[in-house]
Each structure stands twice: as structure tokens, then as C-alpha cells.
Amino acid sequence: MNDILNETLNAPEVSSEEAAGITAEKATDGSENLLEVRDLTVEFHTDSGIVQAINGLTFSLKAGETVGLVGETGAGKTTTALAIMGLINCPPGFYKSGEIIYKGEDLMKIPESEYLKIRGREISMIFQDPMTALNPVMPVIDQISEVIKNHKHISAKEAREEAIEMLKVVRIPPERADEYPHQFSGGMRQRIVIAIALACNPNLLIADEPTTALDVTIQAQVLEMMCELKDNFNTSMIMITHDFGVVAETCDKVAIVYAGEVLESGTKRDIFKNPSHPYTVGLFGAIPNLNEDTEFLYQIEGLMPDPMDLPKGCPFAPRCSCAKDICHVEKPCVSRLPGEEHMVKCHKYTGSDENAEIVNEEWRDE
Ligand SMILES: Nc1ncnc2c1ncn2[C@@H]1O[C@H](COP(=O)(O)OP(=O)(O)OP(=O)(O)O)[C@@H](O)[C@H]1O
Ligand code: SF4
Ligand SMILES: [Mg+2]
């Protein structure tokens, strides 16, 4: 995984002409966004107070693309995924504002009966922990067939046949179909969860840290298999992770999530070659360099702000070594940087001029 990360970090620069070529190629594949999450705001009302979990989060992806949602624990990645799936329990969760536009339709406005047709069939999710995602008292084949039967309205026999095919796709021997989740290894369980998620050939797959619970060798195998299946089925994917190695291996675009907001987003090249938000720079700085002999590993000082008591200005201000007075009182707007679709939310950059990297006067000498 480290090799892939290093390769991505050291990849040669691409000229603007080449970059334009990439854009043109993509545009013929599917120029419209398959999913656009715009200004999403979600709160949880608890006995101790209001948890502001998602605060104006925005990102998009086109058909066939993979976007990585990267952020530390508590950033709001899973809540974003559950919001897209329409799985935020209300109460305690409340959608305060925003839109989740899927194929031109706002999912936040459709009735639950419509959601039932989309969830699992068009949009499906690989949950964070495979053991809790699987039913421990049901043979795995029944768990896969159930999804197929519910969405395709075919007989139990046909659904079982399709489920057996899915098991083969994820390289589980069909003769083990009637075994229970506890009889499989961690890697196999994760592959079964992937089989369930892909059973109805969804347009969009949300993978919530699909490999975090696995050891490194199995991680690589599962990721490789997911990418292969995604390409074969032409599925778009949201890859939730805190690992830039996983991003390097699987993603086209990246959104850096912090305190329920996207602080920086762009293509993988934009983010890996020109990380611009101080938080993103800090995250890259925290990746150990195998060629450097160092006594201590770098870390970003401090913790993510309490979502019940968010800072008034920039959410990263209490930890940012570049912070100025304005950062503590005013929220930064989104600025566009050179690159295909490179966006950053930081007072260092101002304006929204296309292809103009504008560094605010106050920071110019740093
Ligand atoms: N049901 C809930 N009730 C109250 N607070 C919640 C609830 N679900 C999530 N939160 C809070 O919302 C914030 C975002 O949580 P979320 O699980 O989305 O983070 P995450 O980025 O997925 O973190 P991790 O990397 O640990 O999985 C956290 O502060 C969390 O405590
Ligand atoms: S807005 Fe200010 S505090 Fe926030 S990341 Fe930028 S420089 Fe740092
Ligand atoms: Mg999570």
C-alpha cells in the first residue's frame, strides 16, 4: 500500500493540455453528476445537547467515478453515508437543510416507499463492521438471496441461483453457501458483505471503511477485488476512509472532511500534488516517510472540535498554525484553485476566480 501511495505522491506533473484531455475523456463517459450532495446539514438532538454532525457538506460524483471521503474519527463520514441511504433515524437525527440529488432527483424529498426501491438496488452500502452487518443466525446465501428477491421480484429458486453466482464473483466457494457468518474468516465475511451490496448491480456503492477491520494482506486483496468488480459493473463508489493509501489505490476524486464539512476537494492529482488546506497539508505530513530517520512522527496537535460546541469561524482554527484573527470569527468561503476541480475552504485563499490561485494579502509573506 505504501508503494502505491509513494507512486501517487511522486507521479509526474500533468500539463494543462493533458488535464484537459482527461476531462474530455471523462465527459464522454458521463458528464452529468450521478450524485450531488449540496450544503447538507444534519443534527442529532440528544439529552446532553444538539450534536452538529454535518454542517453544509458538499461534494459530487459522476457515473463510474470513485470519490474518497477522508477524515479523522467523528468527522461525519458515516453520517453522510447514512443520510444518502436515507437511514438517519429521526429522532434523534434531523436533516436541517441541503439537497441530495441522485439522477436529478432530491432524495430528501421522496417518500420512504420510493426510497425502498432505490436502497439496496440503485444505491447500496458496505457497512463499517462486517460482523454487525450480517445476521448471525441466517446462512449467508439467504442473506444475499433476500436482497435479490426483494428487489427483482423473482422466485426463491432463481434468487438463490443468482446469489450463488455472486458468491463465486467474490471468490467464496459455493459449497459453503449454507454456512453461517461465524464460520467464515474476517476477509471472507467482508467479501460476503460486498456480495450483498453488489447483488443487484447498484449504480452507486458506498463503502464505509471496508477494509479497516482486516489485516494488511487481506486488505489489499479485498480492495483489489472491489476495484475489479466496480469496473466490471461500471459502479460509482464513495470510499470512506482515513487512509491515503486506500485513496491512492481506489479513488478518482477526494473530499477532505472535517467537523462535518468538506474543507478541500479535487481530483486525486489535485489533492496529492497540491494539498492546499492547512488540515490536508497536516494529514500528508503525518504520513510516515520510510526514507527518513526520525525520532518522532509528526501529528496535528489538538483534537477535532466538540460537535456540540463548534468554533464560530473556521472549524480548524483552534489547531491551525496559520490561523489569523479573522479565522476565529468568520467562516471561510469556498475558493477555487488551479486544477480540474480543486476547491478549498480557507481564508488564506480568497475569491472564486477560475484558475486563479489567490492568496489573501495577510498570508502572502508566509
Ligand atoms: N445517533 C447519534 N446520536 C448522537 N450523535 C451522533 C449519532 N451518530 C453520530 N453522532 C455524532 O456525529 C458525529 C459524526 O459521527 P460519524 O459516525 O459520522 O463520524 P465518522 O467520520 O464516521 O467517524 P469514524 O471514523 O469514527 O467512523 C460524531 O460526533 C458522532 O458522535
Ligand atoms: S481559515 Fe484560517 S484557521 Fe482555517 S485553515 Fe485557513 S488559515 Fe487555518
Ligand atoms: Mg464512521
Ligand closest to the CA atom of residue 48: 1
Q: Which of 35, 68, 71 shows the shortest CA–CA distance to 53?
A: 71
Q: How far is the CA of 363 from the centre of ligand 2 (A)?
A: 10
pLDDT at 5: 54
Q: How far is the CA of 155 from the centre of ligand 1 (A)?
A: 39
pLDDT at 125: 93
* Dihedral, CA of residue 341, residue 344, residue 350 and residue 351, to nearest 10: 30
What is the residue with the minimal CA distance to atom 6 of ligand 1?
44
The whole-angstrom separation of Cα 230 and Cα 198 is 9
Ligand closest to the CA atom of residue 303: 1
Ligand 1 nearest-atom number relative to CA 51: 5
pLDDT at 18: 37
> Which of 1-5, 23-27, 79-83, 127-131 is modeled with the greatest confidence?
79-83
pLDDT at 14: 39
Q: Which of 355, 265, 270, 352 shows the shortest CA–CA distance to 61?
A: 265
pLDDT per residue as tens digits for the range 263-306: 999 999 999 999 999 999 999 988 887 787 777 778 888 999 99
pLDDT at 351: 64
State the Cα angle at 301 between 245 and 344, rounded to 5°.
Answer: 60
What is the residue with the minimal CA distance to atom 25 of ligand 1?
73
Ligand 2 nearest-atom number relative to CA 321: 8
C-alpha cell at 11: 507521479
Give me the DSSP letters along 28-76.
HHH-SEEEEEEEEEEEEEETTEEEEEEEEEEEEEETT-EEEEE--TTSS
Lowest mean pLDDT among 47-51, 184-188, 356-360: 356-360
pLDDT at 75: 96
Q: How far is the CA of 283 from the centre of ligand 2 (A)?
A: 15
Q: Helix, strand or coil for residue 316?
A: coil
pLDDT per residue as tens digits for the range 296-315: 778 888 999 999 999 999 99
What are the residues whose beta carbons fall under 8 Å from the beta carbon of 361, sequence distance 6 or more?
none
pLDDT at 180: 97
Lowest mean pLDDT among 156-160, 184-188, 238-242: 184-188
Per-residue confidence band for 19, with pLDDT thresholds at 50, 70 and 90: very low
Q: How far is the CA of 342 from the centre of ligand 2 (A)?
A: 17
What is the residue with the minimal CA distance to atom 9 of ligand 1?
79
Query: In the chain, what percentage of residues exceed pLDDT 90?
Result: 63
Average pLDDT in the chain: 87
Q: How far is the CA of 316 from the centre of ligand 3 (A)?
A: 20
Task: Check whether the bond before 92 is cis (ω within 30° of 0).
Answer: yes
Ligand 2 first shell, C-beta below 6 A: 277-278, 314, 316-317, 320, 322-323, 327, 332, 346-348
Ligand 1 nearest-atom number relative to CA 307: 29
Q: How far is the CA of 111 from the centre of ligand 2 (A)?
A: 40
